[in-house]
């Protein structure tokens, strides 16, 4: 998928009304399934999942507010952020004073519509720009929310790229936000583009597209995550900010170290708040799962507002996120622990053709130093990331040196 293709995917998904359950999630997965094969799962309402229970399914068909003249002043058909997520059905007339208790605005951002939800409390409401609210006349208003909240299912999907080993890389995206291009559609687009790039990987890659919090909890309740070797949540992947990587709860896993070593991302310490990394990193699981974003959770003015539209994200920014993800995963594919099979003194490299093979390379001196560092630290305890960290040499140079030494019979890799 090209950078422009990622942006086109964001634009196509943007109008769909997603929530933690419902047909909007299914429609989103339908579009994703045109790009990568998906295995879908429907989990019935009432199913216990860890300390939670799968909620009732919410769907909505229409919603609006008519002013005293009969004019629609707020209409779900124009923007699905206009309705508080999981609003129960309502069709009533009421004065503006009563209606105000059900209206949500952003007084400090008067031209933007906020995103609000009420997943686990039965209520209803509308979201609108403060400037629109300020212009509403007194009088009687008619409100309609044509929705259903009933037993149904929670839907999530997986795309698996089989690897040469059963150890897994988990990439998790939330699919529950309506019409928010950066949070969460840009992350979905980058995940899909990365999945399409994978070809005969070492690890098995598992992409999980699930509603936030309850979806990740449901996935964890229904699966054994013991094979996960590396993982991350992917969101806010297309805004103009710089890349940020939040470490896993462990803080020193291979993926944590790789992002710090190989990318320009600002590395943040773990906090139990944000996206679904907090579920994967809950103490009972404590998985090696970090979080990749550009501007972090709630860190930009457009966050959870109508300002987070397709024009807010760019193909260039998503391409940059994809490039960083690809470089890190390529390094993790190559990362190994080696044992020096000739550890007593420095082995003679010249008679094995290893010095001569570097002739003419512009980086011959650096490549030679990489061989010496690998031989010295190939003790079964240091992986290639650790050797690159300690030597200050590029990871790719270190990995290339290890490959040459292994081919010459001087190293044995752990797998």
Structure letter (DSSP) for residue 155:
E
Is 177 annotated in a binding site? The answer is yes
- Tell me the angle at which helices 315-334 and 395-407 cross, rounded to the nearest 10 degrees: 30
Rounded CA separation 220/225 (Å): 7
How big is the chain, counted in residues? Answer: 415
Closest to 305 in 3D by CA, of 130, 17, 81: 81
Rounded CA separation 220/228 (Å): 12
To which residue do tokens 């996120």 refer?
321
Strand runs (DSSP E) across 151-265, as ranges? 153-161, 168-174, 204-210, 228-234, 244-246
To which residue do tokens 């590029």 refer?
394
Rounded CA separation 213/132 (Å): 33
Rounded CA separation 342/322 (Å): 40
- Residue 122 sits at the vertex; the CA angle it makes with 208 and 106, to the nearest 5 degrees, is 80
Q: Which residues contact 239 (CB under 8 A, 6 or more apart)?
A: 182, 186, 294, 295, 300, 302, 312, 313, 317
Burial class (CB in 10 A: 0-12, 13-18, 19+), 311: exposed
Neighbours of 271 (CB within 10 A): 15
Strands 168-174 vs 204-210: parallel, antiparallel or unpaired: parallel
Distances (CA, A) of 333 to 248, 257, 336: 19, 14, 8
Q: Which helix (H) or strand (E) holds 10?
A: helix 3-13
Q: Which residues contact 1 (CB under 8 A, 6 or more apart)?
A: 9, 35, 189, 192, 193, 196
Binding residues: 177, 183, 304
Binding residues for Zn(2+): 177, 183, 304
């Amino acid at each position: 998928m090209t950078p422009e293709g990622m942006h086109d995917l964001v634009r196509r998904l943007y109008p769909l009304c997603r929530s933690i359950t419902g047909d909007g999630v299914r429609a989103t997965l339908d579009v994703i399934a045109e790009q990568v094969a998906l295995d879908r799962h429907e989990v019935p309402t009432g199913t216990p999942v860890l300390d939670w229970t799968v909620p009732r399914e919410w769907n909505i068909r229409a919603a609006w507010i008519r002013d005293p003249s009969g004019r629609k002043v707020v209409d779900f058909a124009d923007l699905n952020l206009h309705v508080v997520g999981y609003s129960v059905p309502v069709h009533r007339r009421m004065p503006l004073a009563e209606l105000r208790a059900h209206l949500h605005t952003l007084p400090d951002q008067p031209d933007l519509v906020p995103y609000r939800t009420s997943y686990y409390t039965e209520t209803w409401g509308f979201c609108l720009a403060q400037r629109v609210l300020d212009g509403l006349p007194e009088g009687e208003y008619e409100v309609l929310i044509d929705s259903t909240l009933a037993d149904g299912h929670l839907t999530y999907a997986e795309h698996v790229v089989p690897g040469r080993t059963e150890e897994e890389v988990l990439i998790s995206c939330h699919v529950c936000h309506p019409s928010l291009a950066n949070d969460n559609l840009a992350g979905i687009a980058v995940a899909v583009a990365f999945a399409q790039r994978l070809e005969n990987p070492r690890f098995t890659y598992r992409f999980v597209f699930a509603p936030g919090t309850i979806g990740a909890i449901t996935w964890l309740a229904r699966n054994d995550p013991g094979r996960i070797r590396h993982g991350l949540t992917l969101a806010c992947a297309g805004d103009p900010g710089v890349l940020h990587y939040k470490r896993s709860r462990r803080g020193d896993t291979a993926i944590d170290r790789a992002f710090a070593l190989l990318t320009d991302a600002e590395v943040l310490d773990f906090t139990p708040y944000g996206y679904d990394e907090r579920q994967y990193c809950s103490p009972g699981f404590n998985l090696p799962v970090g979080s990749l974003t550009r501007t972090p959770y709630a860190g930009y003015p457009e966050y959870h507002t109508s300002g987070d539209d397709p024009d807010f994200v760019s193909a260039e920014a998503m391409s940059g996120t994809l490039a960083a993800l690809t470089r890190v995963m390529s390094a993790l594919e190559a990362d190994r622990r080696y044992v020096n099979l000739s550890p007593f003194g420095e082995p003679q490299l010249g008679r094995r053709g290893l010095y001569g093979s570097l002739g003419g390379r512009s980086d011959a001196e650096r490549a030679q130093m990489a061989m010496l560092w690998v031989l010295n630290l190939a003790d079964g305890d240091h992986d290639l990331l650790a050797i690159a960290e300690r030597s200050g040499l590029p990871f790719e140079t270190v990995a290339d040196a290890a490959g040459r030494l292994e081919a010459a019979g001087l190293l044995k890799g752990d797998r």
